[in-house]
Amino acid sequence: RDWSSDVCSSDLSMLEREVAIKILRRELVSQPQVVERFRQGAITHAKLNHQNIATLHSFVRHEGQYCLIMEYVQGKTLDEIIRAKGAIPFPIAACIAVRVLDGLEHAHGFGIVHRDINPANLMLTRDGELKIMDFDIACAGWTAKLTQVGRIIGTFEYMSPEQIREKVLDGRSDIYSL
């Protein structure tokens, strides 16, 4: 989008860092509850600093638009890899799972539940590192009330029974999803 380069180019080019910019859709900006959820998600994600979690650099508001400036992760999602090559062999899958669990342990230590652990949100970098992506819908105890009643958040096929039943979640839900 045109404005995102205006907001970020000078500061980010000075750092010589490639970033990913996630922009809240324009039609959602007029909904205060959606904007607040987006902001709370950024606050939650910003607490996390771990090698297996994509880093959030900044949350920016410019001319009525909101965006997250995040670490750009070069690689492929597990979803893409599985679709292209089929099932991941057990020894490699076990190694990936350990890295995901390491990142989740860090998040859970802050009381943060990802709520959408699935192959599309797990990325393998070109160097073979694992990054958990999309902590946007993550919740901490103090943000859970911002989720709309009757609206299930996450990828259905990977949800824990507690998540489907809209119960209070903790880290066990992410482990179930993994």
HEC string of the chain equals CHHHHHHHHHHHHHHCCCEEEEECCHHHCCCHHHHHHHHHHHHHHHCCCCCCECCEEEEEEECCEEEEEEECCCEEEHHHHHHHHCCCCHHHHHHHHHHHHHHHHHHHHCCCECCCCCHHHEEEECCCCEEECCHHHCECCCCHHHCCCCCCCCCHHHCCHHHHCCCCCCHHHHHHHC
| Catalytic residue of the set 11, 116, 127, 174 | 116
Please determine, for residue 39, whether its predicted confidence score (pLDDT) is greater than 70. yes
**pLDDT in the model for residue 13:** 60
pTM of the model: 0.81
Say whether 116 is catalytic.
yes
How large is the average pLDDT for residues 18-43?
90
Q: Is 147 exposed, middle or buried (0-12, 13-18, 19+ CB in 10 A)?
A: middle
Mean pLDDT of all residues in 164-168:
82
Residue type, 64: G
Rounded Cα–Cα distance for residues 8 and 12 (Å)? 6
The rounded percent of the chain whose pLDDT value lies above 90 is 57
Amino acid at 87: A
pLDDT digits (tens, 9 = 90+) for 98-122: 999 999 999 999 999 998 999 999 9
Instruction: Provide the pLDDT for residue 151.
Output: 55
